[in-house]
């Protein structure tokens, strides 16, 4: 395990390093950082008669089986989460995520590498035909080691919209779906996913009671002992994937501390842009420039910091970081829009100090504000990867100003 003294460790990298392909290549030599689509990477297809669409309509989820490529042929649907015929070497992604962790980077910095994006590229046509959804570019990756007592997320729905029925189309397809890819075998012993299938969930489309004193959705769905029989484990072989909607109750179980293999996985979100627009323009796909990959990974560092408990953050610190993040996000969205928050921006994302006064900061003032946050708050509370991540996020589109490097 490299120490923080290792020159490649996250704590020794600058913002410039974050957007320098050579740094990432030297960290994981088996992975690539380029903008050249390999000829071997072609979108998967689904043969006539396969039923991914029907299964996700019925249950709210389905293993992505029966996909095919011109060269590999059809993967039979066995109901056991058969591997998808990806063009890339998944073992290299697993090693990459482990290497990132050893150097202080959260697992989702695997988005710096082409192979992560190629997974999304190769499955996108199948997802579009099954759901009508396009890449939203919301992304996450996990390295869950049961020997360390680690687990994945607790029971939740990915979205709790104000009007849940409106997040489904007239034909029943969900306007938000996730593709969750197992990079190692995902089994109950290493925290595989569990779900409540939609037919056993009366609140799947209708929506939950979100009042302050309401129970969580899983408790509501399991009022009696017999209801626990609705819970379904979803083990997946390495290379298999699960497609599920934003309204499916799902979670990761607690594994066995004697199980030798971590559960390594990643997820790409696909949405109806009218419901949830992509994180950046789809014209940048399939292999976006490195500064956009970095900005996305940095954003996820902030968004998911509570879920992963990446550090011992005091609440005043967390609150200030949240406010800074919301302010930066609001400013980015309102730039060039006359200071008006765009339609659909949740009120809570419009921070108090930015609202009402129409105040805007210059680039220099913004930089100074971020540096203040880093100097006064983050540095005394070091969180692996977050300092660099936050810098990248706050500068957003300006990050490329700091380097001429483009790949």
List residues binding Fe ion (CB under 5 A): 158
Nearer to Fe ion among residue 187 and residue 252 (C-beta): 252
Q: Least Å distance between CB 301 and Fe ion?
A: 18
Residues 6 or more apart whose Cβ sits within 8 Å of residue 121: 37, 41, 43, 285, 286
Residue 76 contacts residue 83 (beta carbons within 8 Å): no
Rounded Cα distance, 94 and 102, in Å: 13
Rounded Cα distance, 311 and 360, in Å: 31
Q: Least Å distance between CB 178 and Fe ion?
A: 7
Q: Least Å distance between CB 153 and Fe ion?
A: 6
For residue 303, how far is the Cα from the chain centroid? Answer: 10
Rounded Cα distance, 303 and 384, in Å: 15
Nearer to Fe ion among residue 69 and residue 190 (C-beta): 190
Nearer to Fe ion among residue 247 and residue 293 (C-beta): 247
Residue 66 contacts residue 128 (beta carbons within 8 Å): no
Nearer to Fe ion among residue 122 and residue 158 (C-beta): 158
- Closest residue to Fe ion, judged by C-beta, is 158
Q: For residues 147, 196, 155 and 82, what is the CA-based torsion angle, rounded to 10 degrees?
A: 40
Nearer to Fe ion among residue 158 and residue 329 (C-beta): 158
Q: Least Å distance between CB 311 and Fe ion?
A: 22
Nearer to Fe ion among residue 111 and residue 248 (C-beta): 248
Provide the 10 A C-beta neighbour count for residue 284: 16
Rounded Cα distance, 254 and 150, in Å: 7
For the chain, the distance separating the N- and C-terminal CA atoms, rounded to the nearest angstrom, is 30
Rounded Cα distance, 196 and 248, in Å: 7
Nearer to Fe ion among residue 145 and residue 158 (C-beta): 158
Nearer to Fe ion among residue 248 and residue 394 (C-beta): 248
Nearer to Fe ion among residue 28 and residue 249 (C-beta): 249
Q: Least Å distance between CB 188 and Fe ion?
A: 18
Residue 178 contacts residue 157 (beta carbons within 8 Å): no
Q: Least Å distance between CB 140 and Fe ion?
A: 9
E-strand ranges in 126-192 read: 134-144, 176-182
Q: Least Å distance between CB 152 and Fe ion?
A: 9
The b-or-e profile of 203-238 (16+ CB within 10 A means b, else e) is: ebbebbeeeeeeeebbebbbeeeeeeeebeebbbbb
Closest CA to 252 of 262, 100, 260, 107: 262
Q: Least Å distance between CB 187 and Fe ion?
A: 19
Nearer to Fe ion among residue 113 and residue 194 (C-beta): 194
State the DSSP H helix or E strand holding residue 355, giving kind and residue range, or none if neither: none
Distance (Å) of CA 113 to CA 32, 105, 179, 242, 268 = 6, 13, 18, 22, 14
Q: Least Å distance between CB 177 and Fe ion?
A: 11
Q: Least Å distance between CB 190 and Fe ion?
A: 17
């Amino acid at each position: 395990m490299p120490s923080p003294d290792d020159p490649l460790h996250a704590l020794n990298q600058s913002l410039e390093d974050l957007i320098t392909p050579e740094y990432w290549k030297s960290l994981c030599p088996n992975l690539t950082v380029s903008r050249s689509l390999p000829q071997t990477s072609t979108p998967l297809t689904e043969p006539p008669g396969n039923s991914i669409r029907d299964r996700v309509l019925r249950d709210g989820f389905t293993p992505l089986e029966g996909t095919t490529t011109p060269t590999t042929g059809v993967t039979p649907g066995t109901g056991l989460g058969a591997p998808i015929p990806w063009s890339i070497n998944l073992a290299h992604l697993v090693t990459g995520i482990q290497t990132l962790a050893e150097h202080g980077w959260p697992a989702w910095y695997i988005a710096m590498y082409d192979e992560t994006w190629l997974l999304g590229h190769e499955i996108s046509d199948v997802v579009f035909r099954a759901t009508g959804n396009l890449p939203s570019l919301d992304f996450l990756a996990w390295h869950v080691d049961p020997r360390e007592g680690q687990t994945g997320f607790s029971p939740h729905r990915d979205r709790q919209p104000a009007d849940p029925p409106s997040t489904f189309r007239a034909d029943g397809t969900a306007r938000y779906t996730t593709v969750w890819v197992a990079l190692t075998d995902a089994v109950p012993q290493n925290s595989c996913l569990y779900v409540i299938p939609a037919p056993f969930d009366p609140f799947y489309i209708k929506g939950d009671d979100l009042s302050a004193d309401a129970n969580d959705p899983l408790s509501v769905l399991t009022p009696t002992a017999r209801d626990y029989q609705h819970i379904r484990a979803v083990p997946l072989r390495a290379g298999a994937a699960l497609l599920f909607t934003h309204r499916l109750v799902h979670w990761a179980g607690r594994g066995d501390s004697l199980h030798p293999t971590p559960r390594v996985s990643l997820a790409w979100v696909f949405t109806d842009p009218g419901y949830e627009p992509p994180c950046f323009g789809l014209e940048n796909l399939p292999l976006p420039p490195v500064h956009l990959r970095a900005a996305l990974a940095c954003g996820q560092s902030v968004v998911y910091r509570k879920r992963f408990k990446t550090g011992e953050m005091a609440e005043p610190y967390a609150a200030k970081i949240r406010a800074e993040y919301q302010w930066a996000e609001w400013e980015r969205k309102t730039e060039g829009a006359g200071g008006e928050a765009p339609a659909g921006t949740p009120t809570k994302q419009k921070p108090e100090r930015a609202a009402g006064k129409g105040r805007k900061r210059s680039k220099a003032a913004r930089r100074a504000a971020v540096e203040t946050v880093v100097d006064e708050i983050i540095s005394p509370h070091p969180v692996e990867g977050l300092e660099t991540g936050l810098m990248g996020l706050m500068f957003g589109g300006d990050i490329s100003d700091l380097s001429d490097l483009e790949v």
